[in-house]
Structure 1
């Protein structure tokens, strides 16, 4: 038998290749943290620095590329400041990179052990406002009608995940863009504040109902740093049509702080239930599979149906919301 061909590969353990870069540098940076760093801050910042250094070594980041990144971050701040803090490009960047959706999943994923799941969450986005007024069930959020808008009667029941019973008094907060694809504060020539916004309190049977528009797809702004990043990745800026809802939620962070500096944060709460912030999407929207912020989930795709016998609306959407009790943990993995 002929001897095996010499491949030059030994069966012995291979000696590790020496690093092209200082293998002790990252640890040195981490070791400079002082002893009084909060444990969670130490955990997050240490992981961030390690991944940032590993990323830089992996792609062998050039000085020009690093400086381009520095200028990009500076531009995010400039746009925010010059817009009087109404245009949050940093928030938008985290959306188009999928970060907000990932953080939302980490924060809110609950797998039920009862056979049904609570309503899925989705990203809040930058357009929520604490100013939305309470309106009566059966009312409308359409304050400035658009001739191209298709009016919809939206209704449903808010119920308990564990018992299946309705939740009287739960608050349903809704906001949406008009049929021109713009939210109220983006479109002051055509919309007054709180157009297409409102809060509704479920009745004694857990029911809510009101009039809104069939949602319209729209583009993220086609200028600024976020659009430049989309172009670099050869991606479109479109969001599928959607309606934002927030049910039984307590939010202490004010969006658009320059406009709301003197407004107390909204306290939309139910003492016994976890809140749900989410978005609903028409099933026939062409952008569902490529939503530029990756927020679409299968159970949030809904069917708007023709409505007969109501002279106020041509469509209806029946959508029930299931909330988990605050102490509900779900399955443990």
Structure 2
């Protein structure tokens, strides 16, 4: 069969017919059909094809052990949120806390911390207490659930972005809930911030007239035995860009009140001084689907 515009897709799809892994064959056949349809739609010149290859090459070359430019590209194209949202539902119905993107900065292991510890190792901002419960879908508390937490500082930078300013592990913590499924830790209110713009993804945003900002948030990954883990955020309710997140991750149910508190008893209980900021963020985990 001659390789022509008309026969190209069938020829490539047919080349995968002996793939033993059924899922891999399904993925490659679908990818080929959609990619070829895209190429036929936009009819790229050879120069445009070379530019596209150069862009993807630059994305890969920008990745290192603390930065994942391909995740960033997936984020700004809405693919990360689409995959998260599809995988965060069961039979089309959300049964737990809504999921959001992992983001490009979950690149180092969070240090193990005790409940009530501070993840702010700099101590430069107003203290903030984050507390809540991890619950099953029926409201039952989940003792011993694990929470992986990470955030930027009050200036909008993660520890891996400022190795000369922030100690490793600043803004990060790995916690386990108590016997009533409760958790609490001290931190600072994070800032809104731009995603990295010094690489190919930043240049893409600039070329398309899009801003690079994310609203202020704290990342969580929550997991417990016999339940589906969830990757989510607590968004600061009055943050700039709450309505125009560069990576499309804001969901209304995740916008959280970060409230100024003068409660002296609460301050003493949490180990802070008044005034402090308090955010309550409960996380509900869906059950693992039954296997057949």
**TM-score, scaled to structure 2:** 0.90
Aligned to 1:316: 278
Unaligned runs of 5+ in 2: none
RMSD of aligned Cα (Å): 2.0
Task: Write out per-residue CA displacement over residues 24-72 of structure 1, whole angstroms, 9 at most, x where no aligned residue.
Answer: 2211121122513421111111111111111111112111111110111
Aligned to 1:296: 250
Aligned to 2:68: 88
* Residue in structure 1 matching 2:140, options 161, 165, 174: 165
Aligned to 1:5: none
Structure 2 counterparts to residues 1-333 of structure 1, below 5 A: 22-80=5-63, 84-110=64-90, 117-129=95-107, 131-146=109-124, 149-162=125-138, 164-248=139-223, 270-308=224-262, 309=264, 310=267, 311-312=272-273, 314-327=276-289
Q: Name the SS for the 1:235 alignment partner.
A: coil
Shift of 1:77: 2.4
> 1:111 and 1:49, CA in 2 relative to 1: closer, same or farther beyond 3 A?
closer
> 1:24 and 1:129, CA in 2 relative to 1: closer, same or farther beyond 3 A?
closer
> 1:110 and 1:36, CA in 2 relative to 1: closer, same or farther beyond 3 A?
closer
Preserved CA contact (<8 Å) 2:67 2:105: no
Task: Write out per-residue CA displacement over residues 243-280 of structure 1, whole angstroms, 9 at most, x where no aligned residue.
Answer: 001111xxxxxxxxxxxxxxxxxxxxx32211111011
Preserved CA contact (<8 Å) 1:110 1:118: no
Please say which of residues 308-317 and 199-208 is displaced more in the overlay. Answer: 308-317
Shift of 1:112: 8.7
Preserved CA contact (<8 Å) 1:288 1:296: yes
Preserved CA contact (<8 Å) 1:218 1:241: yes
Q: d(CA) in 1 for partners of 2:92 and 2:78?
A: 25
**TM-score, scaled to structure 1:** 0.79
Shift of 1:289: 1.6
Q: d(CA) in 1 for partners of 2:117 and 2:60?
A: 40
Q: d(CA) in 2 for partners of 1:117 and 1:281?
A: 20
Unaligned runs of 5+ in 1: 1-20, 249-269
Q: d(CA) in 1 for partners of 2:13 and 2:140?
A: 52
Which protein has the larger Cα radius of gyration, Structure 1 or Structure 2? 1
